[in-house]
């Protein structure tokens, strides 16, 4: 009982300290350890189905981009800390030319230890702080950080996906595949986890968090999935398309260099 209480206190102190940091401040407040994580990520937002301009260096269709950026880590580490099987989600107005409207809540898997929670937070803060949707714009601020149960399910054929944070977030998506089993709608994109995404059917995207005071239902709008491997070195080497945006609606010169070096499709 005593160990459980001390562990709970340690986590509470950690979340309080991290919750008071913006993405940029947190990314630089402490040395970020080397990391490598692999898994599957699901993005859903209010942009039109199969037509989110933010993915290709454009401005959100509605000005704001109320979205959810979720990742399930199948295998990974942060320094010596293993992160296998953990989940993390960022929900808020995640892309906006008006930085005053940006906000997010970071939801951490309640199965994570205090050490793992800090590691997950440092990784997301680091990547979020390096993401540049628009030059000289500050990163999306994390207004809150919450430890919650996160339920994620992937069908055996990797076509049906569901995500639930009880009483807060519900998502369902279907990834269409061709006869050979490959995703039907793959494109080069700006993304936190990968430079390639697979557009999917958004069957459900409902968000209601009374603590945050935000609520929406963007079911039927945009969704994508990606199977990712991302490292600290990839960000340090400026190899992510999301690090070089300007919301012009066309790839920047640096983005075109990355696309051509990686052999990705420009359109």
Q: What is the mean pLDDT of each run of 10 residues along the chain (267 residues)?
A: 43 44 45 96 96 94 96 98 98 95 97 98 96 90 96 98 98 97 97 98 98 97 98 97 96 98 93
Nearest Cα residue to 163 out of 71, 26, 73, 255:
71
User: What is the model's pLDDT at position 3?
Assistant: 42
User: What is the model's pLDDT at position 2?
Assistant: 40
As a whole number of angstroms, the distance between CA 224 and CA 239 comes to 21
Is position 88 within any domain? yes
Distance of CA 196 to the CA centre of its chain: 14
User: What is the model's pLDDT at position 4?
Assistant: 45
Domain that holds residue 119: 2-262
Is position 248 within any domain? yes
* H helical segments located in 131-188: none
User: What is the model's pLDDT at position 7?
Assistant: 46
Is position 267 within any domain? no
As a whole number of angstroms, the distance between CA 126 and CA 73 comes to 17
Is position 15 within any domain? yes
User: What is the model's pLDDT at position 30?
Assistant: 63
Is position 156 within any domain? yes
Number of independent structural domains in the chain: 1
User: What is the model's pLDDT at position 21?
Assistant: 44
């Amino acid at each position: 009982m005593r160990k459980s209480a001390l562990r709970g206190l340690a986590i509470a102190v950690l979340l309080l300290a991290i919750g008071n940091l913006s993405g940029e401040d947190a990314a630089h407040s402490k040395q970020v350890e080397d990391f490598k994580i692999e898994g599957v990520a699901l993005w859903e937002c209010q942009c039109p189905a199969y037509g989110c301009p933010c993915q290709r260096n454009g401005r959100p269709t509605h000005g704001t981009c109320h979205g959810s950026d979720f990742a399930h880590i199948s295998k990974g580490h942060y320094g010596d800390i293993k992160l296998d099987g953990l989940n993390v989600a960022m929900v808020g107005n995640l892309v906006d030319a008006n930085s005053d409207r940006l906000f997010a809540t970071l939801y951490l898997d309640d199965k994570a230890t205090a050490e793992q929670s800090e590691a997950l937070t440092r990784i997301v803060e680091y990547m979020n702080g390096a993401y540049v949707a628009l030059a000289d714009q500050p990163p999306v601020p994390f207004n809150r950080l919450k430890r919650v149960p996160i339920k994620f399910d992937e069908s055996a054929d990797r076509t049906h996906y569901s995500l639930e944070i009880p009483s807060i977030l519900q998502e369902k998506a279907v990834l269409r595949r061709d006869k050979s089993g490959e995703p039907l709608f793959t494109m080069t994109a700006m993304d936190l986890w990968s430079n390639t995404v697979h557009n999917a059917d958004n069957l459900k995207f409902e968000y209601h968090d009374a603590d945050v005071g935000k609520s929406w239902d963007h079911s039927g709008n945009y969704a994508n999935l990606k199977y990712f491997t991302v490292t600290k070195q990839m960000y340090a080497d400026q190899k992510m398309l999301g690090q070089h945006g300007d919301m012009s609606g066309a790839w920047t010169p640096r983005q075109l260099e990355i696309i051509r070096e990686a052999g990705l499709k420009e359109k």
